[in-house]
Amino acid sequence: MSWSAGREQVLECCVHVPEQTNWPGWLPRMAFAPRGKASRGDVLLVVFLRGAADMLNVVVPHGEEAYYQMRPTLAIPRPDDLRAKTTERVIDLDGFFGLHPSMSSLLPAWRAGHLGIVHACGAPDESRSHFRAMELMERGVTDERGPASGWVGRHLASLDTGNASPLRAIGLGEQAPRSLRGRVPVTALKSIADFHLRGDLQATSRMQTILSSLYRDDEALAGVAIETLNVLHTLKKLDPASYVPSGGARYPETDFGMGLKQVAMLIKSGVGLEVAAIDLGGWDTHFSQGGSQGLMSGLMNDLATGLAGLHADLGLAMEAVSIVVMSEFGRRAYENASLGTDHGHGGALLLLSGQVRGGKVHGNWPGMAEGQLFGPGDLAVTTDYRDVLSELCRKRLNNPAVNQVFPDFAPKETNVFKSS
């Protein structure tokens, strides 16, 4: 499959409003809720790193002397540290921050200005509990009070994009992550193949013929049914095994890589995907976390090669795609006695998009010296993650009702995204 569509085509794909006429007189057609109407913005992909990723070793503050003092074993050698092999050193980004060597596949995106980083970013919650912090972050709330729905779910509910696709919002996995929960139906898919009718090929094609005939003239449901049958028809032709990514892109042969590949396939096939969420787990590295190599280096490799594959595969379409990589909190600045790191506070957001002010590490660096750390020795949070996500909703997702996405939160301008 070749892919050369520009932004217009991406935006137009599958925004199909079913024609519904001849309503029975008794049935009033009223707006369901006071939702804003707008054309849809970017496709949003949320990547959640479960287990609290040690962002200090992903985006390394190599200009920070304290970092090396606190992590005698785990620190990633400076870019100019001649004692270490080149492949084990930090890849410098701006003279102060650099990427872990296992993140090197994201360098093309960085150079293209498509990778932006917000460091010392996170949530105000200080529980250092995975369960609680993940829940609060996915709900987008400060503490347990406030709405139980997810922030992405509220975004979908507060913006009517006229998109009737059953794949408007998907969660890759057994069930959709909590961030997607809300009033708008979300489809959970382990793979594209899950979106199908049961039975063998013959039985399903017979059933689709029956359904198409049964619904064709239904005044209320024809539009939705035909849309769903079209999506089924489109997806039947998509085979992840034989799919050839564009731009020479390669995805890692992992669950994460396969998930991202299918996100790319859905975006390209124009089935109305607006929001996707995918998890990457295993980041709770209390023990033998590793430095330039080792446990966490493998996770970073999966993350970076997966995202780099998606970035290359989507090509021009990245102009209308926004990817957010987040984790529930960061890890302790000091390494522990088991050569790992314990639960900390501040982390970082990675943003991959044609519309991010990329090639730049944003945020206010709080420093890591005595007196600059937070609590038991954690990186401080200087940017609330909701400041960034609010701006994303407003500028990239065309949602003016950010106060419905993050109620009772007054976002500050971070200027991380370009305006649409």
Partner 1 sequence: MSLSRRDFLRLSGWVAGSAAVTACAPAYGRLAQIGAAKQIRSAANETIFRKLGRLTYGPLPNERQEAADHGLAAWIEAQLAPESLDDARAEIRLRPYDALALEADVLADWEQDTVVDQLRRATLLRRLYSHRQLYERMVEFWTDHFNIYVSKGDCWFLKVVDDREVVRAHALGNFRDLLLASAHSPAMLVYLDNQANEKEAPNENYSREVMELHTLGVGSGYTQTDVMQLARCLTGWGVKGHFWRGQFTFDADQHAGGVKKVLGQVVPPGGEAEAEQVLARLALHPATAQHLAAELVERFIVDHPLTAVPDLVAAAAEAFLKSGGEIKSMLQVILLDGLARSDFDLPPKFKRPSDFVSSALRLLQVASDGGPAVQSHLSAMGQGLFDWPTPDGPPDVEEAWASNLLPRWSFAIELAQDELEGSRANLPGLIESEAASSPSDILTALSLLLVGRAPGPGIANTLADGLRQSGADTPEEVTAIMAAGLLASPAFQWR
Token readout for 125 is 């919650």
Nearest residue (CB) to partner 1, 83 versus 198: 198
Please report, as residue ranges, which positions from 139 to 198 form the binding site for partner 1 (by CB under 8 A): 144-150, 153, 164, 166, 175, 181-183, 185-188, 195, 197-198
The secondary structure of residue 336, as a DSSP letter, is -
Out of 19, 200, 217, 370, the residue judged to bind partner 1 by CB under 8 A: 217
Q: Which of these segments, 9-17, 26-34, 62-70, 362-370, binds partner 1 (CB under 8 A)?
A: 26-34
Out of 1, 221, 369, 410, the residue judged to bind partner 1 by CB under 8 A: 221
Q: Which of these segments, 41-49, 80-88, 208-216, 357-365, binds partner 1 (CB under 8 A)?
A: 208-216
First to last CA, the chain: 29
| Cα–Cα distances in angstroms (integers) from residue 387 to residues 121, 162, 205, 412, 414, in the given order | 9, 27, 48, 5, 7
Out of 11, 207, 295, 316, the residue judged to bind partner 1 by CB under 8 A: 207
Q: Is 418 in the site for partner 1 (CB under 8 A)?
A: no
Closest approach of partner 1 to the CB of residue 396, in Å:
24
Q: Which of these segments, 22-30, 83-91, 285-293, 358-366, binds partner 1 (CB under 8 A)?
A: 22-30
Closest approach of partner 1 to the CB of residue 193, in Å:
13
CB 344 within 8 A of CB 378: yes
Nearest residue (CB) to partner 1, 121 versus 276: 276
Please report, as residue ranges, which positions from 319 to 378 form the binding site for partner 1 (by CB under 8 A): none
User: What is the Cα–Cα distance from 315 to 238, expressed in whole angstroms?
Assistant: 19
Residue with tokens 């009223």: 30
Closest CA to 123 of 140, 106, 109, 108: 140
Give the distance between the most distant pair of CA atoms in the chain.
Answer: 81
CB 77 within 8 A of CB 88: yes
User: What is the Cα–Cα distance from 182 to 169, expressed in whole angstroms?
Assistant: 11
Q: Is 203 in the site for partner 1 (CB under 8 A)?
A: yes
Q: What are phi and psi of 354, to 5 degrees?
A: -70, -10
**Which residues contribute to the site for partner 1 (CB under 8 A)?**
24, 26-28, 30, 32, 144-150, 153, 164, 166, 175, 181-183, 185-188, 195, 197-199, 202-203, 206-207, 209-211, 213-215, 217-218, 220-221, 224-225, 228, 232
